Amino acid sequence: MSSFTKSTSFNRRALSSLAIESPRSSSSAFTSPISSAFSSPRTQNNFGASPRLSTNRLKEISYLFQALIIAGTIVSFLVIIAGGYLYVVPSLGLGYNGALQFNSSVVVDDKECDVFDGNWIVDEKYYPLYNGSECPFLEKGFNCLGNGRGNDEYLKWRWKPKGCNVPRFDVSDVLERLRGKRIVFVGDSMSRTQWESLICMLMTGVEDKRSVYEVNGNNITKRIRFLGVRFSSFNFTIEFYRSVFLVQPGKLRWHAPKRVKSTLKLDVLDVINHEWSSADYLIFNTGQWWVPGKLFETGCYFQVGNSLKLGMSIPAAYRVALETWASWIQNSVDPNKTRVLFRTFEPSHWSEHRSCNVTKYPTPDTQGRDKSIYSEMIKEVVKNMTIPVTILDVTSMSAFRSDGHVGLWSDNPLVPDCSHWCLPGVPDIWNEILLFFLLRQQVQ
């Protein structure tokens, strides 16, 4: 209490000394209306402040408070507007950068629902969606039942989000909605698997199977850079472009170290990118080839501009490649015409020492496969884009499906495969969700 009293006395002495200063001194910053306001009327009268001076100061104080009230009103109005924006915009799906981000949270039956947060449940009535042996565009290596797999339990699982249901696949409705469209998949063999799955799903609704054909008469094979299947009765095509890294392989530099056999130009998108931009729907993926066995062990290193990046890690290079892709999307794609989607990393189920044990049923434990640094990078890059991109976040949901891989039931049973998926199978569920996002947009 004593310190407070001493401080108060000091302030009063200071105010008194200011009051008896000459007019020239009183024009300083210390004799502003604010300082006058904190001196009592009694103090002013004791030192002979004239009535006119007191009146002028009161007017100045009045004007000051009016200005403060107006400023406060404006600030409050702006705060209310900003608060309304932050409340309303997220409900419309708008990201902080103003771009419409089609993420996993959607409104289904008037409820907010994350379609990628759920469980696998048995559905023997509805699945599988097609017979793999009856689909001419399904490559033999993915037809596990046709290659001798004895159990078919892996075909009977449906994905059930916790807060809603993914609409049932209605082939007649989908075919009609895709009239006149061009659907393009770009990526590695996992992208080709999803492409084949979608074609087989849609062919179940086509009466004249001859009206569906590969545009160049090619057989479905992993070695062809471009494959396109046309549904002539409905005037749409589903295309696949093989681009395992999305960015451009580079030529070997003559002065490079001996261990360098080739490069990957991280800052240049694949040269065939001009074929993609006019699509109505663009679905990308990349990830399976971003491993030492496909890169460093084959002598492939990274390049940015004319600089060879021998010390760059694979995750760092992946990030640069994604940013190159994002830049191309923003500069080359018309968001009013083209819907862009990116499917996240699809987990494999190799055990230690690269052994492949395909289970009979989905595993109850993902053993960490539900997380991927590549999937997280995709989300981070997309979040900073100004063009809307849909993330098909299949990493977690697919991590449970150790039963869905090709295993030994491929066209080469001597080579086990715990990376690729049987068809029919898990990629069909990816496509049900894909169609849900695409057709939901058309309805809205």
pLDDT tens readout for residues 28-87: 333 333 333 333 333 344 434 444 445 555 556 566 666 666 766 665 655 455 444 333
Residues 234 and 346 placed together within one structural domain of the fold? yes
Angle formed at CA 345 by CA 352 and CA 362, multiple of 5 degrees? 60
Residue 111: per-residue pLDDT:
61
Residues 255 and 370 placed together within one structural domain of the fold? yes
pLDDT tens readout for residues 320-373: 999 999 999 999 999 999 999 999 999 999 998 889 999 999 999 999 999 999
Residues 140-161 have a mean pLDDT of: 96
Put the strands of the sheet holding 212-214 in their side by side order: 212-214, 226-231, 236-242, 182-187, 281-284, 339-343, 389-392
Please identify, among 59, 90, 121, the residue that sits at the C-terminal boundary of a domain. Answer: 90
Quote the CA–CA distance of 240 and 436 in Å, as a whole number: 20
Please identify, among 67, 90, 113, the residue that sits at the C-terminal boundary of a domain. Answer: 90
Residues 282 and 177 placed together within one structural domain of the fold? yes
Residues 86 and 109 placed together within one structural domain of the fold? no
Contact assessment for residue 345 and residue 289, using Cβ atoms and an 8 Å cutoff: no
pLDDT tens readout for residues 256-278: 899 999 999 999 999 999 999 99
Q: pTM for this structure? A: 0.76
- Judged against a pLDDT cut of 80, whether residue 109 lies above it is answered with no
Q: What is the longest distance spanned by two Cα atoms in the chain?
A: 110
Domain with 308 in it: 97-443
Residues 192 and 60 placed together within one structural domain of the fold? no
Residues 221 and 73 placed together within one structural domain of the fold? no
> How many structural domains is the chain composed of?
2
Which residue would you say has higher pLDDT here, 170 or 85? 170
Residues 56 and 78 placed together within one structural domain of the fold? yes
- Judged against a pLDDT cut of 50, whether residue 100 lies above it is answered with no
Q: Report, in angstroms and rounded to the nearest whole number, the Rg of the chain calculated over CA atoms.
A: 33
- In 75-126, where do the E strands start and end? 105-108, 111-114, 118-122
pLDDT tens readout for residues 397-428: 999 999 999 999 999 989 999 999 999 999 99
Contact assessment for residue 158 and residue 126, using Cβ atoms and an 8 Å cutoff: yes
